[in-house]
A and B are shown apart, each in its own frame.
Chain A
């Protein structure tokens, strides 16, 4: 079995599991949580393209998510634009913004890049809060219309689940394909050594901006989907905390692993449901989780599983 065939089988199995999940959860409030897992997976995979593949940190990805949500929200509620059109407009708009800020920002490396993206996230967050006439300010914006396909309106947990997961699965498929392509190799090369990548003929500067743009665009799409499924948005969902949470998802799952991003997103979305007893102390648990993971499983959960499987195989052979 070649690697390509194995990839197809794994992806097909994953799709089946996604399709079947609602049947097991009928009427359960967890279905709503799984809608969020879908959105977060999409975001984590998008960030993973940048962080895990190209090795460029972003502490401002919640801003792209928020911009997607707000542009969609404003266009549909104030200008009565059709939700699907608003979604396309939001994604394109955020793509253009990312492309423009990408050139100066991605010249920076390491801590400086982290600071610059952090700054961008904070600026956008302030704009959400202060432009009250447009966004409703801190109290948020409501009455965002649901998406609809003909007579089918996406307004229940069940319909939302399938809507979101179609987009999430497409994002995953795109990313899995990218990983094994010429561009995927070039991204990993940049991650390892920019100078070596440049002497191979990789246009490092442009490629970094391009992947940043793709990543932001997918995040914006997730934002639009979020706005249209929740019908209510407020700045608090798009702050610095959420940017950090996204980075945590990617690292816990495993840098550069698409299914890892799903695992990370699932764990960090489900965890609060089980940590309710701890109230506001859940942030401490996230912190501990991140420390323990980076210390003992630097490859993330997927990397950890692989190491474990290899160890078991060795033991069997011995």
Chain B
């Protein structure tokens, strides 16, 4: 469904992604793990067009998208849940969700469809329904993460790019968020690319995984195999707690 071939991305002089290749199949959850600065967020930003690649190809359902601006990529069905949630804090929960449907809203019947999708999001995260008039900035961290995911769902994406949904959240909340992510892939056939620091949870949820280190893919495979891999265990699982502590 999504195929990334040999992309190279730069921030000015800094070579952030080196010949990265990756693919996603429809309805699957794929995780991308790696330490800080490995290039995980850059890869998501490259897919969504925020930081276009210098070379290489990104094909979405066979069509190249690596030269498109972000809004065209969203329109084609790829939505990102940005790192650190980035909900629009001075806006109400409802306004945030409506912004998620920004491109669908102006289409014929878009207003009605937006309402329907919003009802679906409220079904998924009932707490947002109670808080819909509240400003997003007044929500708790977990609620903001739910809002960020709900906001991305408002675009009815075929692929959802999730950037560290567990960041700074209590373990119970993390569990709930991941249950919803599994649901998305299972019931709604949304394909998910999940970037995580919390490798244990990510590998448990995902079917396949890629390990990124200093801009390169150093390992890939079934999530279960990666979990057993000695290097992964040493680098990302054993020191799991310590890594969170250090952040």
Residues of A within 8 A of B (CB): 182, 185-186, 188-189, 191-193, 195-203
In the complex, 22 of the A-B residue pairs with CB atoms within 8 angstroms, ordered by the A residue number, are: A182-B98, A182-B105, A182-B106, A185-B91, A188-B90, A191-B90, A192-B88, A192-B89, A195-B50, A195-B82, A195-B86, A196-B82, A196-B86, A196-B87, A199-B50, A199-B70, A199-B79, A200-B99, A200-B100, A201-B71, A201-B103, A201-B155
State in angstroms the CA–CA spacing of A46 and B99 once bound together. Answer: 23
Q: Report the minimum CB–CB distance from B59 to chain A (whole Å).
A: 20
Q: Output the least CB separation between B76 and chain A (Å).
A: 10
* Interface presence of B66 (CB below 8 A): no
Closest 6 CB pairs of A and B: A201-B74, A196-B86, A201-B103, A199-B80, A198-B70, A192-B88
Q: How far is the CA of A34 from the CA of B193 in the complex (A)?
A: 59
B102 within 8 A of A: yes
Q: Is the CB of B48 within 8 A of A199?
A: yes
Could you say which residues of chain A place their CB within 8 Å of the CB of B106?
182
- The residue of chain B having its C-beta at the shortest distance from the C-beta of A192 within the complex is B88
Interface size class of B (residues with CB under 8 A): 20 to 34
Q: From B79, which residue of chain A is reached at the shortest CB distance?
A: A199
Task: Using A198-B71, A203-B71 as known contacts, list a sample of 15 further A-B pairs with CB atoms less than 8 Å apart, ordered by residue number in A.
Answer: A182-B102, A182-B106, A185-B91, A185-B99, A186-B99, A189-B88, A191-B90, A196-B87, A197-B99, A198-B70, A199-B70, A199-B79, A200-B151, A201-B102, A202-B71
Among A186, A199, A201, A202, max chain B CB count under 10 A is at: A199
- In the complex the two chains form, what is the Cα distance from A200 to B151 in whole Å? 8
* Contacting pair A185 B98 (CB below 8 A): yes
Complex CA gap A203/B69 in Å reads 8
For the complex, give the distance between the alpha carbons of A193 and B80 in Å. 14
B240: Cβ under 8 A from any A Cβ: no
CB distance B50 to A188 under 8 Å? no
Provide the B54-75 mask, 1 if CB < 8 A to any CB of A, else 0: 0000000000000001110011
State how many angstroms separate the Cβ of A127 from the closest Cβ of chain B.
Answer: 35
Minimum distance in angstroms from B45 CB to a CB of chain A = 8
Which residues of B sit under 8 angstroms from A199, Cβ to Cβ? 48, 50, 70, 74, 79-80, 82, 152
